[in-house]
Structure formats: structure tokens, C-alpha cells
Amino acid sequence: MSQDKKVILLAGPTSAGKSQLAIKMAKHIKGEIINADSMQIYKEMLILTSRPNLNDMKMAKHHLYGFNSVKKIFSTGRWLKITLKTINQLWKNDKTPIVTGGTGLYFKALTEGLVKIPDIPSKAREEIRKLHETIGQEKFYEQLTKIDPVVKKFISANDSQRSLRAYEVKKYTGKSLFDFIKNTKSDFDNQIFKKLFVNIPKDLLSKKIEKRVEQMFKDGAIDEVKNFSKMKVNKDLPANKIIGVREIKDYLSGKATLIKTKELIKLKTRQYAKRQFTWSRGHMKSWKMIYSSDLDDLFRKAISKIS
């Protein structure tokens, strides 16, 4: 791999201004933008996911936006596979990939690789879940540490979700979950990644979220949810978790006023942003933090960090 090859990673909380910064950078450095937002993949949901609009698309080439139906599941593994292929194609075309979004797991998969664990049959998983329900987390954890002692180093005694996962992996494969994790690595040398996080102050972010939600309603968020409801999407599919879908459905059925609906969407968006900040503190310690309320100044800071 030649030294000049690089991938710019641009993360940050929702509403922080990543999209406009990515476009400005793409125009400046012969770059193209790759989506790293798990909700902006859906073709039927433009407004509530704040997907780049037609004007944005004209200003810079965008990849992996609005291509997957809300009726179809889309995994991190599939995102990684398409993204790796796109990055290599952009390099061949002498373009710089700019991967931008707010889904931490996508960035983690790209920079650290994806754990490749064999599919575990649903029957086996069900049996383990029934055991957990019967004996409770405390005894379940005791049993887990007997069959896989290394778990004690990585999973706390009250973490039921990870305990279940570790138990089913050990039982079905005969190997520890952490053997799989240990052998996981990225397809790329870490040196090629230029990692930027738009670290917007929380009070400013709150104001931007306020404005964004109001704009969503002006742009037709209610009609978008009406159309979504007509599609009768399976309730277990992730598209139902898009912030605003359930809240606007409740408004349409008369369970909430428009004012209350907007306030709840703003609150849930702030809570989501808080989780994104928490993820960054735990998983993005090596990233360069940048921020300015002025786009030109933010752009200069970004360029100085990747040069």
C-alpha cells in the first residue's frame, strides 16, 4: 500500500455539522463521502434521518445513502463489506474516501475489524436464554465462568447481555468469545486512518437539535411517517427505531399534541447524542477532537489535523 493512501473518518453526535464539513472537505481534497450512519441507509426515510439532500449530493459524490429498503435488515457486516469495496475503488480512481456518520459500531468495524463468529442456531440460543431466566444472572454467571474462566477479565457479573453471548459462543463453538475477538483485525493498517470527531459543546448542540427538529416538520416529517406506516414494516426491524417514527405515529393516532411530539423528539435526539458522546469517550480516545461554530474555521482545523 502506498503511503499517500488515506481514509478520513469524520464522526460526531447527531446535528453537529458533519455533513457540511464532509462536503467542504470532499471538494477541497478530491474526496468522496461514504455514509457511516445506520439510519441514513434507508431510501424511504430522508427527513427524519437528516440524509443529505439532492443539493448536497450535487456538491460532492456520496455513497451508501438511501439505498436499502426499510423492509430489509442491514447488518454492520454488510456495511463493512460494501465500504471496503468502495474505499478500494475510490483509491483506484485517485480519490480520498471520507467516511462520515454517527454510528460508532461502523467505525469500530472499519478500524478494528469485525468479529467473525459462526452463526449460532436459534434453538441453541433459546435454550440458553431459558436457562438464564430460570436460574437468574448470578448463578448463570457462575456457570459461565466455570466453562470459560477468561470471561472474568472482560465481563462484569451483572452484564446479562454479554454473559448470554459469551455462554452461547462457548457452548456452541467450544471456543471463548474472547478467542474470536483476539484474532480480529482491520483490513487496513491503522496509519491510513485520519480520525476526526466534531466535539460540539453540548449547549450549542441542544440549540441545533431544536432547530433541526422544527425544520423536519416543515420539510414534511409527518407525511414521511404516514407513508412509512402504509408500508406495514415488521415491528422488529431497525427502521422502526428511527427517532420520530413512534412519536409521530402517536401524534397521528391522537395520543399526543404536536407540541408534545416535537418536545419528545428533541429530548430523544439529545439522549441519542449523549450516547454518542459516551461511545466516543470509550472507543475514540485516539481521535482528534475539533470544533468551531464557523464552518470555514472548522474546515481549516480539520485539514490541519489530517495533513
DSSP string of the chain, one letter each residue: --TT--EEEEE--TTSSHHHHHHHHHHHTTEEEEE--TTTTBTT-STTTT---HHHHHHS-EESSS-B-TTS---HHHHHHHHHHHHHHHHHTT-EEEEE-S-HHHHHHHHH-----PPPPHHHHHHHHHHHHHHHHHHHHHHHHHH-TTHHHHS-TT-HHHHHHHHHHHHHHSS-HHHHHHT---SS-GGGEEEEEE---HHHHHHHHHHHHHHHHHHTHHHHHHHHHHTT--TTSGGGGSTTHHHHHHHHTTSS-HHHHHHHHHHHHHHHHHHHHHHHHHH-TTSEEE--SSHHHHHHHHHHHH-
Going along the chain from its start, the domains and CATH numbers come out as 7-114+186-306 (3.40.50.300), 122-182 (1.10.20.140)
Strand partners, 10: 100, 196
Nearest residue to 193 via CA among 6, 1, 12 = 6
pLDDT at residue 2, as a whole number: 42
In angstroms, the CA 136 to CA 159 distance is 12
In angstroms, the CA 273 to CA 12 distance is 9
197 with 289: CB under 8 angstroms? yes
pLDDT at residue 3, as a whole number: 41
Could you report the average pLDDT of every consecutive run of 10 residues in the chain (307 residues)? 77 96 97 97 97 95 97 92 97 97 94 84 90 94 94 87 89 89 82 96 97 98 98 92 97 98 98 95 94 97 94
Cα 289 to chain centroid, rounded: 18
In angstroms, the CA 117 to CA 136 distance is 26
Neighbours of 3 (CB within 10 A): 7
pLDDT at residue 183, as a whole number: 76
pTM above 0.85, yes or no: no
